[in-house]
Copies of this chain bind each other. A is one copy, B any other.
Amino acid sequence: MLPYILLGFLSYQPMTGYELKNLMDDSTQHFWHAHHSQIYTTLRRLEEKGWLVSVEPAEDDPLNRRAYSITESGRSALQSWLDKPLLEIESSKHALLVRVFFSGSREPSGILRELRFQRQLHQQQLEQYREQEPAAPGRPDLEQEVPFWRATLDFGRRYEAMVVDWLDDQIARVEAGRRPAMSFPDAFPNSSLEEYDA
């Protein structure tokens, strides 16, 4: 997948590995991320394949920047990947759900602490997504891309909102189970926005 992300961005304009890393951190982070080590090695591999070409860092560039450009061969590889649609549901991995699945014998207080902290993290993530707005300033040729960038951001917002709701319900469920047949309020009601106190 990473090769196509790099090809995709380089189809907009030539860039260095460092710039690609930053772009991914800003825009694809919530559905695909990569460490710089993987990006640099993948770029080299794509150049060997002939899908990219890089210009040797200029001698007067002490930062040793290597800019990559997409080749015609790279463009058609990207295009034929896009033309071959995804025909399956991709499987995902959620460590949090693994933990919840095997939490039946944990202390309710420990579970609650974890769920409340996760709720806080996902709420913050949601707020951050709500502030983001994709744009291609000064690139009218990329205007048609913007609605698709926004679509992926919208997915992120809906996903985080769903997770926050689910966590709220799980927190309520565990709290309800903790004091069965009781209705006393907690002596020190927990704010779900406190720092994790582990």
Contact = CB atoms under 8 A, between A and B. Distances in A.
Interface in A64-109: 78, 82-83, 85-106
A127 interface: no
Interface string A182-198: 00000000000000101
A29 B90 CA distance: 11
B89 A121 contact: yes
A148 B102 contact: yes
A23 to B, nearest CB: 11
A114 B85 contact: yes
B93 A144 contact: no
Interface stretch (A14-22, A50-58, A165-173): A165-173
Q: When A and B form their complex, which 6 residue pairs have the shortest distance between CB atoms, in order from nearest?
A: A104-B145, A31-B97, A85-B114, A8-B102, A31-B94, A104-B144
15 contacts: A1-B95, A4-B98, A30-B91, A31-B98, A82-B110, A89-B125, A92-B94, A100-B155, A101-B148, A101-B149, A104-B146, A105-B145, A147-B173, A154-B166, A162-B162
